[in-house]
Structure 1
């Protein structure tokens, strides 16, 4: 269960739970591979949590292009 950031706040940034899961998973894989963090400090120790924190901060968004 996600306690922080709250799902309600995350869904303000992303249009569906599916999109949120896909975005967080992709970003977590990028962080696993050594991508530069978008935030200076994180509450979470795991990359999925860090990705969700980036979404909540508005620093990570779904792009419209393919």
Structure 2
């Protein structure tokens, strides 16, 4: 069983695409600055750590307003 589960993560972020985007950006940032948001992680890899931060509500996604978007 994977921790955290995809079902529990999708209650925090509305789509799988957004979840992957947020987790990958945070993983890259952790590789550069190494600033942890949690005291202890289950995972040893950066993406797993980012997913744990999302699960613990330490990492959230803020949606941008696209009303004024023009093509």
**TM norm structure 1:** 0.90
Q: Deviations over 1:2-31 (max 9, x none)?
A: 811100000010010000000000000000
Paired residues, what number?
65
Greater radius of gyration (CA): 2
Q: Which residue of 2 aligns with 1:29?
A: 28
Moved over 4 A (4+): none
Please identify which structure carries the higher helix content.
Answer: 1
Consecutive unaligned residues of structure 2, counting only runs of 5 or more, are 66-71
Match of 2:53 in 1: 54
Question: RMSD value over aligned CA atoms?
Answer: 1.6
TM-score by length of 2: 0.84
Deviation at 1:55, TM superposition (A): 0.3
